[in-house]
């Protein structure tokens, strides 16, 4: 049977688009289906973190980030008396070199993703088609869609990924239930364009006022977001009016005379994750698999991590490397990882959403005391949590365990005359980064195996090293050699999603590391035929 695609993706939101691009960049044939004829024109997310920026840059969105976003800057919490409870000064170069937090207008991000996808010949976008049915036939999946004129159409692929948002149809189809932390609050979201630019300091402000918790946030160049929590004695209908929006915006000096209200909407900030991320040939990613309150700005970032994690495992499965059990590690890794982001967001929410004036006063005393002891100032604690379990090297004993699952930092390196970020200069995919030339320790069979996985073998030398060939870089930022030395690592194997598979402390361990990888991925089998793209 001739299939339409290697992978059918349901949902053309940020996670569906990102996953589609990652797969189509590897020349897999992707059909991306969305129920609406046109993309949604309003923002939900307003910011992404350093790791999300790295993911976006890796799929060709560097220019978008450089020209259409801005660093989010300072993030403060104040109480009702405007006393500072928390003051976080994000740095412009975070763990992945990009800012800790970047402000953006989500439709501009989605347009940039659409434009990137349009340049990939194996990516076919089918808008105006709602997926109403999906059947796993064992060796392929078939999705039934209803088109704009009510006509039915089938779309088939080897795999199907539901990136179909919070009310996911595919999630139901795979029989997943949602774990619920039962933290849910309604907030009125107001997206505003000010008629004249204004400086906000702090640029992002959380007012923890029990009379009305509220937020003022940067939302990308030329955009601002204000959010107001619904009170217990107020109905959704009362809060969700234009009049309420302007009345509340006036608290920040924003009126119809100086601003345009692009839209208002009430969102219920929920905290849930799916108990199953795969069934047979169907998987879920993004909001389909998890939802969290936006207080840590981690919702879409977690979605992008899903895409980064899933894309290389799907690529391996499609290429016929081992069996497809590698895909089970996707849900194992991501479900545990995302729970950290959800719990962190809920913990912040419980503090912010306090409506009891007595409890709020106690909170203010505790947070003020913490600030006096230096807690809650300076750079934010990175929300990036290590991976636990899943596809990680555990052969290195206590030392190896230390780095397995950590996000590899990104810095500038040089190869010959080219200076750039590690991902740009070296390229993405598996990277073996060593403080020595590892090739003499690998041997022909291992080198052949690494070639079959497209592992880039790179030795990093001092800043003034010539680094002229494809297998070396110079550590211009003086980041990587100190990092390896600090961790007592000879080399690290970086996965395509930038998490460390494992480290070795001794050159004699290279073969053990790769034997372990080979075992976990299953013996490399013949590369299967790609679907014809004609
Ligand atoms: C108020 C608010 C503020 C937020 N702020 C942040 C923030 O600052 N930072 C951050 O990282 N995250 C934030 N988030 C979270 C972020 O917006 C979401 O996590 C992200 O947009 C989800 O992307 P997605 O692609 O998974 O889903 P969606 O963007 O919802 O896309 C799903 C797509 O699937 C399509 N679809 C659904 N069902 C079908 C079907 N049956 N057939 C075909 N197509 C279908 C839909 O039309 C839609 O296009 C915020 C969320 C909210 C609500």
What pLDDT digit, counting tens, does each position of 341-388 carry? Answer: 999 999 999 999 999 999 999 999 999 998 888 776 666 555 478 998
What's the pLDDT score for residue 92? 87
**Is the distance from the beta carbon of residue 191 to the nearest atom of ligand 1 less than 6 Å?**
no
- Summarize pLDDT for 229-253 with one digit per residue, the tens: 999 999 999 999 999 999 999 999 9
Q: Determine what percent of the chain is predicted with pLDDT higher than 90.
A: 89
Measured in angstroms, how far is the CA atom of residue 165 from the centroid of ligand 1?
5
Q: Does 298 sit in the ligand 1 pocket, CB within 6 Å? A: yes
- Backbone φ/ψ region at 408: left (φ over 0), alpha (ψ -120 to 50), beta: beta
pLDDT score at 525: 39
> What is the C-alpha to C-alpha distance for residues 531 and 122, in angstroms, rounded to an integer?
10
Which residue among 215, 294, 338 is best mutated to probe the pocket of ligand 1, counting the most ligand atoms within 8 A of its Cβ? Answer: 294
Q: Are 45 and 196 in contact (CB under 8 A)?
A: no
The helix, strand and coil proportions of the chain, stated in percent and rounded to the nearest 5, come to 35, 25, 40
Helices then strands, counting H and E runs in the chain, come out as: 15, 28
Question: Is the C-beta atom of 10 inside 6 A of ligand 1?
Answer: yes
> Are the beta carbons of 343 and 385 closer than 8 angstroms?
no
Centre of ligand 1 to C-alpha 406, Å, is: 27
Cβ–Cβ under 8 Å, residues 70 and 222: no
Pocket test for ligand 1, best of 41, 188, 299, 383 (most atoms within 8 A of CB): 299
* Ligand 1: residue whose CA is nearest its atom 31: 13
| Phi, psi (degrees; rounded to nearest 5) at 281 | -95, 10
- Give the closest residue (by CA) to ligand 1 atom 13: 45
Omega of the bond leading into 353 within 30 degrees of 0 (cis): no
User: To which H or E segment does residue 233 belong?
Assistant: none
Closest residue (by CA) to atom 44 of ligand 1?
A: 34
Contacts of the segment 115-122: beta carbons below 8 A, 24+ positions apart = 116/21, 116/59, 116/60, 116/61, 117/17, 117/20, 117/21, 117/24, 117/32, 120/21, 120/24, 120/25, 121/24, 121/533, 122/24, 122/27, 122/28, 122/29, 122/30, 122/533
d(CA 231, CA 244): 13
Return d(Cα 121, Cα 130) in angstroms, integer.
23
Q: Give, as one character, the DSSP assignment of residue 508.
A: G
Reading the block at residue 223, the tokens are 């955009």
Q: pLDDT confidence of 534, banded at 50, 70, 90? A: very low
Torsion sign (Cα): 102, 106, 111, 115: positive
Give the distance (Å) from ligand 1 centre to CA of residue 149: 25
Please list, in sequence order, all residues whose beta carbon lies within 8 angstroms of the beta carbon of residue 157, skipping any fewer than 6 positions away: 3, 4, 5, 6, 7, 8, 31, 140, 141, 143
Mean pLDDT, range 89-112, rounded to an integer: 94
Q: What is the mean pLDDT of residues 93-103?
A: 94
Query: How are beta strands 282-284 and 152-162 bridged, if at all?
Result: parallel
Residue in 134, 164, 206, 227 to alter for ligand 1 test, most ligand atoms within 8 A of Cβ = 164
Which residues, in sequence order, are CB contacts of 268 under 8 Å at separation 6+?
A: 184, 185, 186
* Other CB atoms within 10 A of residue 227 CB: 20
Query: Cα–chain-centroid distance for residue 119?
Result: 22
Is 72 within 8 Å of 254 (Cβ atoms)? no
- Cα(15) to ligand 1 centroid in Å equals 8
The band of 528, judged by pLDDT with boundaries at 50, 70 and 90, is very low
Burial class (CB in 10 A: 0-12, 13-18, 19+), 253: exposed
In this prediction, residue 136 carries a pLDDT of: 98
| Residue 394 in this model has a pLDDT that exceeds 90 | no
Cα(140) to centroid(ligand 1), Å: 27
Q: Is the dihedral of CA 379, 56, 416, 408 positive or negative?
A: positive
Ligand 1 proximity of 383 Cβ (cutoff 6 Å): no
Substitution site in 129, 143, 303 for ligand 1 pocket (most atoms within 8 Å of beta carbon): 303
Task: Measure 270 CA to ligand 1 centroid, in angstroms.
Answer: 13
Separation CA 443–CA 447 (nearest Å):
6
Compute the CA torsion angle 424, 426, 430, 434 (nearest 10 deg).
Answer: -130
Whole-angstrom distance, CA of residue 316 vs CA of residue 522: 10
Give the Cβ contact number of residue 19 at 10 Å.
30
With cut-offs at 50, 70 and 90, classify the pLDDT of residue 323. confident
How many A from CA of 476 to the centre of ligand 1?
38
Could you tell me if the CB of 287 is within 6 A of ligand 1?
A: yes
List the single range of 56-65, 85-94, 96-105 with lowest mean pLDDT. Answer: 85-94
Selection from 249, 304, 347 nearest residue 20 by Cα: 304
* Nearest-atom index, ligand 1, CA of 288: 26
Q: Is the pTM of this model over 0.85?
A: yes
Q: Give the mean pLDDT of 402-414.
A: 94
Nearest CA to ligand 1 atom 9: 297
């Amino acid at each position: 049977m001739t299939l339409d695609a290697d992978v059918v993706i349901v949902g053309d939101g940020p996670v569906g688009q990102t996953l589609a691009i990652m797969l189509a960049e590897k020349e897999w044939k992707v059909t991306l289906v969305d129920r609406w004829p046109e993309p949604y024109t309003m923002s939900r997310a307003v910011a992404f973190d350093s790791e999300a920026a790295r993911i976006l840059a890796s799929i060709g969105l560097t220019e978008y980030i450089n020209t259409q976003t801005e660093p989010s800057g300072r993030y403060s919490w104040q109480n009702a008396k405007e006393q500072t409870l928390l003051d976080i000064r994000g740095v412009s170069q975070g763990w992945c070199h990009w800012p800790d937090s970047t402000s953006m207008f989500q439709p501009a991000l989605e347009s940039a993703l659409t434009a990137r996808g349009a340049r990939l010949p194996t990516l076919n976008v089918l808008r105006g088609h709602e997926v109403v049915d999906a059947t796993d036939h064992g060796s392929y999946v078939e999705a039934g869609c209803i088109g704009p004129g009510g006509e039915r159409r089938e779309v088939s692929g080897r795999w199907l990924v539901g990136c179909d948002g919070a009310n996911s149809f595919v999630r139901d189809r795979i029989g997943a239930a949602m774990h619920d932390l039962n933290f849910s609050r309604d907030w009125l979201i107001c997206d505003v364009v000010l008629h004249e630019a204004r400086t906000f300091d702090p640029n992002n402000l959380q007012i923890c006022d029990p009379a009305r918790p509220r937020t003022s946030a940067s939302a990308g160049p030329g955009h601002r977001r204000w959010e107001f929590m619904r009170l217990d004695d107020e109905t959704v209908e009362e809060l969700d009016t234009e009049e309420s929006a302007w009345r509340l915006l006036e608290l920040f000096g924003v009126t119809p005379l100086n601003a345009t209200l692009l839209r208002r909407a009430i969102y219920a900030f929920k905290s849930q994750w799916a108990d199953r991320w795969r069934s047979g040939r169907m998987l879920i990613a993004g909001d389909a698999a998890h939802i969290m309150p936006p207080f840590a700005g981690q919702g879409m970032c977690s979605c992008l991590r899903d895409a980064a994690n899933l894309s290389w495992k799907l690529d391996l499965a499609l290429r016929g490397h081992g069996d497809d059990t590698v895909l089970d590690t996707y849900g194992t890794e991501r479900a545990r990882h995302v729970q950290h982001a959800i719990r962190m967001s809920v913990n912040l929410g419980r503090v912010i959403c306090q409506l009891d004036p007595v409890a709020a006063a106690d909170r203010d005393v505790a947070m003020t005391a913490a600030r006096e002891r230096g807690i809650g100032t300076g750079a934010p604690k990175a929300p990036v949590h290590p991976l636990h379990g899943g596809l990680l090297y555990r052969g290195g004993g206590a030392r190896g365990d230390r780095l397995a699952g950590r996000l590899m930092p990104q810095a500038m390196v040089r190869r010959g005359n080219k200076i750039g970020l590690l991902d740009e200069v070296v390229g993405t995919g598996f990277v073996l980064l060593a403080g020595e030339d590892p090739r003499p320790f690998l041997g022909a069979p291992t080198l052949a195996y690494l070639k079959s996985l497209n592992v880039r073998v790179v030795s990093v030398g001092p800043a003034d090293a010539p680094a002229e060939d494809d297998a070396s870089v110079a550590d211009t930022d003086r980041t990587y050699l100190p990092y390896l030395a600090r961790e007592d690592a000879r080399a690290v194997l970086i996965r395509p999603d930038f998490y460390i598979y494992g480290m070795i402390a001794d050159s004699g361990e290279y073969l053990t590391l790769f034997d372990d990888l080979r075992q976990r991925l299953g013996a490399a089998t013949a590369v299967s035929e790609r679907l014809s793209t004609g």
